[in-house]
Chains A and B, each alone.
Chain A
Amino acid sequence: MNTDISIGTGNPIDRVEGRLKVMGLAKYASEFNVKNLAYAQGINSTIAKGTITAIDTSEAEKQKGVIKVLTYKNADKLKQYDEELPAISTSSIQPVLQSADVYYYGEYVGLVIAETFEQAQYAASLVKYTYSEEKPDIDFDSSRAKAYRPTEKSDYSRGDVSQGLAEADVTLEQIYNTPIEHHHPMELHAIIASWNNGNVEAYASQQIIDDATLTIADTFQIEKKNVRVIAPFVGGGFGSKLHAKQHVILGVMASKQIGRPVQMTVTRNQMFTNTNLRQRNEQKMQVGAKSDGSLTALSHDTLSHTSTYEEFQESCGTVTKMLYKTPNNKVTHRLMPMNLQTPFAMRAPGEATGSFALESAMDEMAWKLKMDPVDFRVKNDTQVDPSSDKPFSSRLLNECLKIGAKEFGWEERPQKPGTKEEGNWLVGYGVSGASRRAPYQKTSAKIILELKDSEVFATIQMDATDIGTGSYTIIAQTASEYLNIPVAQVDVELGDSDFPKTPGSGGSWGAASFSNGARAACENAIASLEEKSGLKLADAGLAKLMRSGNLNSFEAEGTAEPDEEFKKHSVFSFGANFTEVWVDKDTGVFRIKRMLNVASCGKILNPKTAFGQIIGGCVMGAGMVIAEQTKVEPNYGNFITRSFADYHVPVNLDMANIDVIFLPEEDKIANKMGIKGVGELGITSVAASIANAIFNATGKRMRDLPITPEKLILAEKEPGVA
């Protein structure tokens, strides 16, 4: 039993790399000192569809410091997509500058390489393009006729929804809209690439090292073993850095062409146009229930867009398949190819947006049924995943709702909308449930033990990344636990493709995968040492194990992966969010007064970093409601929100106190350590919770995000609200 707070998991210790970060010693991709570095600046198209008919690079090439201008005319020939478009956006290639065709506004059409960043940037503005322009598909409504069923099969049904609706005492049919959003991690996407005789070394801000390595290799058609990608620190990603984007390829290409290392940083403005987006979703919900509140039907149809050259589908309906018990269920997704860049996974892709629709619809149903929204959800709980008929490995959704309601003071909620006042404000309470798949993937790690005097020091190596989530800390805590040495004696080295392979950070699989991988390596090391020494770790301690084996150093590797039990179950994290909002009676302004997020996500490795994940999710979820949206210019197809001055993320004043409760939960089916994902659970329940609170405050049902003052002031009360 570890009583020392510095040993093992479960303790709220500070981040082990925190000191490096606050001292500026943690190096991010563009901060490495590489000799003889040149700088590249991407050039963006200024039309949404058409063909480049002429390029004049002469003025740019004349400028001081300019080394080379790259366009489709002199770019390296890269591996192309198969003939038939759109390609799946998760495919491992990222061709760029391969033709004169332009598919969306802001697409890379060129690159300037210069001695300094400023020279590259200025020269990039001097390259002149002439286009033959075509009418782009940039309007959501007029693209409807082009909607198709995505290649990635995501339609689902059980029972008969129309029959379920016919049997219902109360039904609902509504459409919920979420806009285009952007990830905008704090650290800009960046790469420093060096091409040396067919070998590539790249410092790149990526969430998944192995994917970046593969993308570079496949796009340039070189061996993967000749590519090394390094990312010890990543300043956030939210999904935008899951897969290598075109700038990664451009950076490598630039280095190949000039024979020098090249740094390429994506500007904040280019973060809108060149690092993907969360797609706009139009979600039609149909719900039926008996008067006692039992659901008879749930249907969820999502219409969204993809690019004309790649396909990506945010699966909004996932949550509707599994969260509540209903015999009749239908989920569809349709995509429209449009002249916008390819959407991609953004924090809780599908869940964050899909839950807004589902959990808003559930709230609307509860109101129609005259039931408490908490009771209505509790009534429709299921311990078996209805979409797969597999039991949940653990599911405490009802506990999240009930404990949350008690701790939040839910009984103070006004029974009738618009009846609780504070001066010029109307007060409302909202609730939403949440679920997020808790995946766990094959992960390897290497452990190096060194005996110095009477202490053992451990180094763990894996190609995992820390995107601000706390990977370094929880891996160190895990190794500390399984080796029974203080966290301070564990050194964690991450983010290098030379290290053992992991699935990287994303999809809420990081903590479970990394920790179990580290555990496996530690367990292998201990097993070998115990065998060699004939001693037991628990009795003798690690130092004695090594000494008696006459070992000053020892190395071991280990791999963890999902077992049969895991595959027989449906493994999800669950949660609930409670929000109090104050809505101004006249001006369209609302304030989030307080928020409680209850989470059941297995073992909490570090309450401090897990808390950070949840409150970060709450703020991002609040952003979905307050103002975050990327607007497409209706005539030209560019984004009119193009900087942080127009793309409004929440500020401190927008947020209130956020409390987080982690329910104790042991789930050894999820994985040996009982860890379920935290990273995306936090955001999932927030948008509906706030919108439901606004309804409770005002009687106005807000079905289009974000809920801006403009929309709120124009909205009418729901029919039937006094």
Chain B
Amino acid sequence: MRPFTYTQPETIEEALTASVTNTDSKYLGGGTNLVDLMKEDVERPSQIIEVADLDFNTITSNETGGITLGAMLSNSETANHPDIRKNYPLLSMAMLSAATAQIRNMATNGGNLLQRTRCPYFFEVSMPCNKREPGSGCGALEGANSKHAIFGWSESCVATHPSDMCVALAALEATVTLQKPGGTSRTIEFTDFHRLPGDQPEKDNTILPGEIITAIDLPNPKFQTNYHYLKIRERSSYAFALISVAAGLQISGGKITNIGLAMGGVAHKPWKLIKAEAFLTGKMPTKANFEQAAELALKGAKTLSENEYKVIMGIKAIVRALEQALAKTA
């Protein structure tokens, strides 16, 4: 491992200042992704700013009737919190499908949003990767790409975002609060937080230099009854999704009045299925409608040499997730 310095600021202001002073620094939350990448020589920060113990580790009600998740709170504490389990069970289910209990105990909510792709070309420093080393090329585009994107990719990058939590947050229409030095902060829609690779795949998200995630806000409780997170993977735990679907339904008078639908494992960001959501809103929750919505969702998918299966798997996964959500009873 490369030598680096380590600081443990007492306040967020100190953390932000340290970050601005050394642009080569990284914030350390649980370290479950950053430390791995440092061992692999992929991340090479000269300074580590420990932020896990800063004061953003609570779950509180927010003014809009929703809930605020502290960015430094662990994934385990979040997923198992009684309010989350009761009011946002879709989020809880998605989070508990991720990684292992040990990793979830360490991983933070802010860190989860910032985790980097699992693309093997990104992890192997001797391989070309535009995300790791801009201009070096994309090894996966014409290489081993069975686990890569089918939506929104570019010639420079076909990587996917690996998070489960973020897929649920996209379906739940969360917002992210970012703070910058001087005490000012801004809030953005969750779907605007991550970005598509375009010609700058080195940028995973829209955070500006010096900013730090302080909170994730969820709107009013929703999908408390009819929800499901379906994760298709190569083994029953401790594996990233080939395809995942977060589905939440609100049903009234036999019709879908509100729906949240997002996919993981298919794009550089959690992929919100806006067209499918629009199609199903106001319709009856029938299998035929689910199937039509799923076809609509996968329309426009652009497959690579090895990942054609993701289209058929994606359709099946959406239908199944919606059926499972519908089958749940309070």
Contacts and interface: CB of A to CB of B under 8 A. Distances in A.
14 contacts: A122-B1, A627-B234, A627-B235, A627-B239, A631-B144, A636-B139, A641-B120, A648-B235, A651-B238, A652-B237, A653-B237, A709-B233, A710-B313, A714-B312
A633 interface: yes
Given A121-B1, A635-B143, A587 B313 contact: yes
A640 B238 CA distance: 18
B235 A586 contact: no
A713 B313 contact: yes
Contacts of A587: 230, 232, 313, 316-317, 320
A708 interface: yes
A646 B144 CA distance: 13
B234 A708 contact: yes
B232 A642 contact: no
Contact of A588 (B139, B142, B232): B232
A650 B238 CA distance: 10
A638 interface: yes
A631 to B, nearest CB: 6
Contacts of B126: 46, 638
Among all A-B residue pairs, the 4 with the closest Cβ atoms: A653-B236, A46-B126, A640-B120, A627-B234
A587 B319 CA distance: 10
A31 interface: no
Contacts of A55: none
B127 A654 contact: no
Given A642-B120, A648-B239, A654-B235, A125 B127 contact: no
A121 B143 CA distance: 29
Nearest to A106: B126
Interface string A611-647: 0000000000000001100010111101011110110
B313 A709 contact: yes
Contact of A586 (B2, B41, B240, B320): B320
B205 interface: no
Given A586-B320, A653-B235, 15 more contacts: A125-B41, A587-B230, A587-B232, A587-B316, A587-B317, A627-B234, A627-B239, A633-B139, A635-B139, A640-B143, A651-B237, A652-B237, A709-B313, A710-B313, A713-B309
Contact of B2 (A122, A643, A650, A714): A122
A494 to B, nearest CB: 33
B3 A122 contact: yes
B234 A626 contact: yes
Contacts of B240: 645
Interface in B104-140: 118, 120-121, 123-124, 126-127, 139
B242 A710 contact: yes
A576 B142 CA distance: 44
B146 interface: yes
Contact of A634 (B120, B143, B235, B319): B143
**For the side of the interface on B, what is the size category?**
20 to 34
A125 to B, nearest CB: 6
A34 B317 CA distance: 56
B312 A635 contact: no
A634 B2 CA distance: 30
Contact of B127 (A118, A121, A638, A651): A638
B33 to A, nearest CB: 11
A631 B313 CA distance: 22
A646 B1 CA distance: 22
Contacts of A626: 234-235
B1 A118 contact: yes
A633 B144 contact: yes
A40 B233 CA distance: 38
Contacts of A641: 120
Interface string A583-596: 00011110100000
A46 to B, nearest CB: 4
Nearest to A121: B1
Nearest to B312: A713
A266 to B, nearest CB: 15
Contacts of A634: 143-144
A633 B313 CA distance: 24
Contacts of B118: 645-646
B123 A642 contact: yes
Contacts of B120: 633, 640-642, 646
Interface string B209-230: 0000000000000000000001
Contacts of A645: 118, 240
A636 B320 contact: no
A721 to B, nearest CB: 20
A49 to B, nearest CB: 15
B313 A642 contact: no
A556 B319 CA distance: 73
Nearest to B121: A640
Nearest to B234: A627
Nearest to B236: A653
B320 A650 contact: no
Contacts of A631: 144
Contacts of A651: 235-238
Contacts of A646: 118, 120
Contacts of B316: 586-588, 713
Tell which of A626, A627, A640, A652 has the most Cβ of chain B within 10 Å. A640
Contacts of A589: 232
Contacts of A636: 127, 139, 143
A706 B235 CA distance: 11
Contacts of B144: 631, 633-634, 640
Interface string B297-330: 0000000000001001100110110000000000
A709 B1 contact: no
Interface in A703-720: 706, 708-710, 713-714
Given A122-B1, A586-B316, A654-B236, A642 B124 contact: yes
Contacts of A424: 320
A692 B165 CA distance: 37
A46 B124 CA distance: 10
Contact of A710 (B127, B139, B230, B309): B309
B313 A588 contact: yes
Given A125-B41, A586-B319, A713-B316, A638 B124 contact: yes
Interface in A556-593: 586-589, 591
B233 to A, nearest CB: 7
A635 B145 CA distance: 12
A138 to B, nearest CB: 12
A339 to B, nearest CB: 15
A633 B234 contact: no
Nearest to A641: B120
A640 to B, nearest CB: 4
A623 to B, nearest CB: 9
A638 B124 CA distance: 9
B44 to A, nearest CB: 10
A273 to B, nearest CB: 11
A205 B235 CA distance: 30
A648 B234 contact: yes
B99 to A, nearest CB: 10
Nearest to A626: B235
Contacts of A591: 236
Interface in A505-549: none
A642 B3 CA distance: 24
A710 B265 CA distance: 13
B36 to A, nearest CB: 8
B128 to A, nearest CB: 9
B150 to A, nearest CB: 13
Contacts of B313: 587-588, 709-710, 713
B234 A709 contact: yes
Nearest to A638: B124
Interface string A649-681: 011111000000000000000000000000000
Contacts of B237: 651-653
Contacts of A708: 234
B45 to A, nearest CB: 14
A642 B126 CA distance: 13
A357 to B, nearest CB: 23
